[in-house]
């Protein structure tokens, strides 16, 4: 070796603190007869500390009991220690990528000089000649790049980049042992077929752990890292043929180096590639609970609790290696799924969706729908979240109908009305003036030229109880007028009510009739607050997150008392009669304290039921996602049953009942708090007492 070579070796080993100051003597290459390339003086080839951000790892989503339900990732990777990798895997990768790995320093001078000569001949960087340490450095820089420009810079064919890699490689070898670097490299390398790191690759390619890899399997993975896109076995026969040839190159090299015998190489080469293509776990389409999975994903991506910027939140979820404990309860989810399957078929055009929420915490216990989640229209799959709002992957929702009458009921109870206060309602209701109803911005929204009629119930003298039980539209229009439209809107908003599409609530006189499009999670959660005696809690899907370092963050319910417990008790008292004396009487109760409200829109465009106990609340919607104005629930077959007209108690009510019976099975009953005496009877709006009739016979004398 000449003096220049010795000088470079010393620099590479970090034994000299000097810099590259001499020329690099190369053999003549090419027709130009280049014989000497002079390096730039004072390059400064000194160790440099490599920033090593955490590797992108798989985030695992769990149910409330800790069972895995989904995975999110940017790169499918499972980091494992070197001791959990088969020895033959380590031997194979070193044999083909850097056979002198344990002998040289951070720079393999012989390999580097060969590559430089080849590159000079090619007029660019055509051959890497990199050590495993240098390859690790390149992968770190590539994985740290956020933009395409940064990625291209990490891969650019320049000597400046190569020298920079050498400096980082020197720093890496100064910081870590050879085994530690090899472990890092095998965990960061891309093997193709969407698998990052040897553990993910072993599972993806062969359905085994990295510790179980055989000789031909290890040689296959070792061969794949050189050009994983060209040898990706998931892309068809041509790519698999390339991978097979590359595997055999590795086996020949291992035999040449004496790591295996010629006989072992021959036997291994006789085997088939054996690619299994094990499905990558994760993604909401493969989850048992896809709609809830979509909700969780969007909750993290849209909630500042999980990162200041959208970019931060994407990285947090897809790269963080998180363990995300959620609120979904498998048994309650199963109850909702079974009830929906009983009443609505996946092939039906109308779609049923249901959410279950725990009162007092806002914890979402189940999210179910009659259609499977996905993008295959031929299978009637839905590609948006039928159970949630647009912010959580949902759509525009369905008009909530008479479930909104509950907010008017709550408002007048807050204002002091008693359960037997009432008035006489007619067959039609027309606003007495435009000023009779005012939106919260002060706009007069009374419709003097529009008459509201009744879908259910009979007019006459009605109380808060009877008007609610029979869902009389004309009664609730007058009740809303007396309460004040804006006050009813404020009550709804205090319970988290917002339009499913994210737009502003429509504050018209028919607000109490449910003209706003809603989603089951939002409605169920509002009703859960009544079950919690006026304590509203924001919907909650995530209870705990543990990051890749083991740090755990618990997420607590976000609750506030929005009205007095006695008001909630009075509302529950009134609404419980819906199940026994009102629109749900034919369906019946669930054998424990429960309350709720049916909802049916004009001409049965959609139908709802929302109900609650102190332990669990639920809301069920039913509508045609093709458009409720055109595709109404009249003359339809749903779940194999024909309906001339669908009401809230026709399908949504039975789904809710069947769900609650099963979901609460084994749960001790919590009773409603009895009606406070201050809300009993009637006050200023009592039923008029007719004057007594005088039935005394009149004596007529004929004189």
Token pair in block for residue 309: 């910027």
Residue 613 backbone dihedrals phi, psi, to 5 degrees: -125, 175
pLDDT at 382: 86
- Residue 163 CA to residue 125 CA, distance in Å, equals 13
- What average pLDDT score do residues 591-611 get? 94
Beta bridge partner(s), residue 392: none
pLDDT at 65: 96
Q: Which residues of 482-492 are buried (b: 16+ CB within 10 A; e: fewer)?
A: ebbbbbbbbbb
Residue 123, by phi and psi: left (phi above 0), alpha (psi -120 to 50) or beta? left
Q: What is the pLDDT of residues 456-491, one digit of tens each?
A: 666 899 999 999 999 999 999 999 999 999 999 999
Cβ atoms of 233 and 273 closer than 8 Å: yes
- What average pLDDT score do residues 244-271 get? 97
- What are the distances in angstroms from CA 479 to CA 49, 268, 408, 463, 683? 72, 83, 7, 10, 15
- Residue 469 CA to residue 457 CA, distance in Å, equals 9
Whether the pLDDT of residue 637 is over 90: the answer is yes
Burial class (CB in 10 A: 0-12, 13-18, 19+), 33: exposed
Residue 191, SS3 per DSSP: strand
Whether the pLDDT of residue 148 is over 80: the answer is no
Whether the pLDDT of residue 26 is over 90: the answer is no
Domains of the chain: 75-269 (1.10.3810.10), 377-540+558-631+646-678 (3.40.710.10)
Rg for the chain (alpha carbons), in Å?
36
Beta bridge partner(s), residue 287: none
Whether the pLDDT of residue 4 is over 70: the answer is no
CA-based nearest residue to 608, from 404, 464, 429, 312:
404
Whether the pLDDT of residue 5 is over 80: the answer is no
pLDDT at 114: 57
- Residue 411 CA to residue 570 CA, distance in Å, equals 11
Count of residues for the chain? 703
Burial class (CB in 10 A: 0-12, 13-18, 19+), 152: exposed
- Percent of residues, the chain, with pLDDT higher than 70: 87
Whether the pLDDT of residue 12 is over 70: the answer is no
Residue 552, SS3 per DSSP: strand
Residue, of 110 and 415, whose pLDDT is higher = 415
Residue 437 backbone dihedrals phi, psi, to 5 degrees: -130, 125
Whether the pLDDT of residue 8 is over 60: the answer is no
- What average pLDDT score do residues 494-500 get? 98
pLDDT at 350: 96
Highest mean pLDDT among 24-33, 136-145, 306-315, 357-366: 357-366
pLDDT band at 104 (very low <50, low <70, confident <90, very high): confident
User: Which DSSP string corresponds to 130-173?
Assistant: --HHHHHHHHHHHHH--SHHHHHHHH---HHHHHHHHHHHHHHH
- What are the distances in angstroms from CA 454 to CA 94, 459, 467, 477? 81, 8, 11, 11
- For the whole model, what pTM was predicted? 0.79
Cβ atoms of 478 and 429 closer than 8 Å: yes
pLDDT at 10: 36
């Amino acid at each position: 070796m000449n003096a220049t070579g010795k000088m470079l070796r010393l620099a590479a080993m970090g034994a000299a603190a000097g810099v590259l100051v001499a020329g690099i003597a190369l053999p003549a290459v090419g027709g130009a007869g280049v014989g000497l390339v002079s390096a730039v003086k004072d390059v400064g080839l000194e160790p440099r500390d490599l920033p090593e951000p955490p590797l992108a790892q798989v985030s695992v989503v769990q149910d409330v009991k800790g069972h895995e339900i989904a995975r999110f990732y940017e790169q499918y990777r499972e980091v494992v220690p070197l001791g959990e990798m088969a020895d033959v895997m380590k031997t194979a990768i070193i044999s083909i990528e850097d056979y002198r790995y344990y002998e040289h320093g951070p720079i393999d001078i012989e390999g580097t000089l060969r590559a430089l000569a080849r590159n000079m001949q090619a007029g660019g960087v055509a051959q890497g000649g990199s050590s495993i340490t240098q390859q690790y450095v390149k992968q770190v820089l590539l994985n740290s790049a956020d933009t395409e420009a940064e990625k291209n810079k990490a891969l650019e064919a320049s000597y400046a980049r190569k020298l920079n890699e050498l400096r980082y490689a020197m720093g890496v070898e100064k910081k870590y042992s050879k085994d530690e670097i090899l472990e890092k490299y095998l965990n960061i390398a891309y093997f193709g077929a969407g698998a990052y790191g040897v553990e993910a690759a072993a599972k993806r390619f062969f359905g085994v752990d990295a510790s179980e890899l055989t000789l031909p399997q290890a040689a296959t993975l070792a061969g794949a890292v050189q050009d994983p896109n060209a040898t990706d076995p998931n892309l068809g026969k041509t790519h698999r043929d390339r991978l097979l040839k590359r595997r055999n190159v590795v086996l020949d090299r291992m035999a040449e180096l004496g790591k295996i015998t010629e006989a072992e190489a021959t036997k291994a080469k006789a085997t088939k590639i054996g690619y299994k293509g094990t499905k990558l776990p994760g993604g909401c389409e493969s989850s048992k609970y896809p709609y809830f999975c979509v909700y969780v994903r969007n909750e993290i991506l849209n909630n500042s609790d999980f990162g200041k910027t959208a970019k931060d939140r994407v990285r947090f979820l897809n790269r963080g290696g998180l363990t995300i404990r959620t609120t979904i309860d498998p048994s309650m989810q199963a109850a909702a799924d079974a009830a929906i399957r009983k009443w609505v078929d996946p092939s039906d055009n109308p779609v049923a969706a249901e959410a279950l929420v725990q009162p007092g915490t806002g914890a979402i216990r189940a999210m179910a729908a009659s259609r499977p989640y996905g993008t295959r229209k031929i299978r009637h799959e839905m590609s948006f979240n039928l159970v949630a709002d647009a912010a959580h992957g949902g759509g525009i929702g369905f008009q909530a109908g008479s479930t909104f009458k509950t907010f008017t009921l709550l408002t007048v109870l807050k204002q002091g009305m008693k359960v037997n206060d009432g008035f006489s309602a007619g067959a039609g209701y027309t606003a007495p003036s435009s000023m009779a109803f005012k939106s919260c911005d002060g706009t007069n929204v009374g419709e003097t030229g529009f008459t509201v009629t009744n879908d259910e119930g009979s007019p006459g003298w009605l109380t808060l109880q009877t008007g609610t039980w029979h869902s009389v539209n004309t009664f609730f229009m007058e009740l809303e007028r007396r309460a004040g439209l804006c006050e009813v809107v404020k009550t709804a908003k205090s319970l988290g009510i917002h339009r499913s599409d994210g737009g502003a609530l429509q504050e018209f006189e028919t607000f109490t009739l449910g003209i706003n499009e809603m989603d089951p999670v939002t409605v169920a959660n509002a009703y859960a607050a009544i079950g919690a005696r006026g304590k509203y809690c924001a919907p909650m899907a995530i209870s705990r997150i543990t990051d890749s370092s083991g740090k755990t963050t618990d997420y607590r319910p976000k609750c506030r008392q929005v009205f007095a417990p006695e008001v909630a008790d009075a509302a529950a008292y009134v609404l419980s009669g819906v199940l026994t004396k009102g629109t749900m009487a034919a369906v019946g109760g669930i054998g424990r304290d429960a309350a709720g409200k049916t909802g049916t829109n004009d001409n049965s465009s959609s139908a709802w039921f929302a109900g609650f106990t102190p332990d669990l609340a639920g809301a069920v919607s039913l509508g045609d996602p093709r458009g409720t104005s055109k595709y109404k629930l009249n003359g339809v077959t749903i779940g194999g049953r024909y309906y001339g007209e669908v009401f809230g108690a026709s399908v949504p009510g039975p789904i809710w009942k069947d769900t609650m019976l099963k979901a609460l099975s084994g749960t001790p009953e919590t009773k409603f708090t009895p009606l406070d005496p201050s809300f009993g009877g009637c006050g200023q709006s009592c039923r008029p007492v007719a004057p007594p009739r005088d039935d005394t016979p009149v004596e007529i004398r004929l004189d």
